[in-house]
């Protein structure tokens, strides 16, 4: 067997290429850590949209908002038109009812006027009959009482 004791006695720092390996290993670790840090930073950040995409999205949102407003405006216009029709219909009914009530009031007023005229005529007739009957003595009261029964 060969004697390996002499090879083992040399210090590791004195071996050729041993220092270069350690330096390369440290540089590799530093570069690897730097790359991993860059990859982590770039992977966690949200991707930036180009300005044209942002403008297009804003334009699309604005267009959708305008369409929604137009739809709402059309609904409101339809509701207003229905309301106007209902008001016009109610107004026509109210006018008809008012005209009928005015006609009824005029008819009743004419009837009251006619009855008032007839009542005046009856009062005058009764007054003239009383004036004619006063100067002439009338028959005894018991005879008139017999007629009433």
Sign of CA dihedral 146, 147, 148, 149: positive
Higher pLDDT, 66 or 40: 66
CA separation for the pair 75, 68 (Å, rounded): 11
In this prediction, residue 4 carries a pLDDT of 54
Are the beta carbons of 18 and 12 closer than 8 angstroms? yes
Structure tokens at 117: 């005229």
Structure tokens at 4: 């390996």
Query: 């334009």: which residue's tokens?
Result: 59
In this prediction, residue 82 carries a pLDDT of 94
In this prediction, residue 56 carries a pLDDT of 80
CA separation for the pair 144, 149 (Å, rounded): 9
Structure tokens at 50: 């180009």
What mean pLDDT comes out for the span 19-33? 88
CA separation for the pair 149, 139 (Å, rounded): 17
Q: With 50 as the cut, is the pLDDT of residue 149 above it?
A: no
The percent of residues above 90 in pLDDT, for the chain, comes to 44
Reported as a single tens digit per residue, the pLDDT across 62-87 is: 999 999 999 999 999 999 999 999 99
Reported as a single tens digit per residue, the pLDDT across 85-115 is: 999 999 999 999 999 999 999 999 999 999 9
CA separation for the pair 19, 25 (Å, rounded): 10
């Amino acid at each position: 067997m060969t004697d390996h004791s002499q090879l083992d006695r040399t210090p590791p720092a004195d071996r050729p290429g041993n220092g270069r390996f350690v330096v390369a290993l440290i540089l590799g670790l530093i570069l690897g850590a730097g790359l991993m840090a860059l990859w982590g930073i770039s992977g966690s950040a949200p991707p930036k949209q180009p300005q044209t995409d942002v403008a297009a999205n804003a334009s699309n949102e604005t267009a959708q908002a305008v369409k929604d407003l137009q739809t709402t405006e059309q609904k409101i216009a339809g509701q207003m038109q229905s309301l106007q029709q209902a008001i016009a219909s109610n107004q026509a009914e109210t006018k008809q009812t008012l005209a009928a009530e005015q006609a009824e009031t005029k008819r009743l007023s004419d009837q009251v006027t006619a009855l008032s005229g007839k009542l005046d005529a009856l009062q005058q007739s009764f007054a003239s009959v009383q004036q004619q009957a006063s100067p002439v003595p009338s028959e005894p009261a018991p005879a008139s009482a017999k007629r009433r029964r």
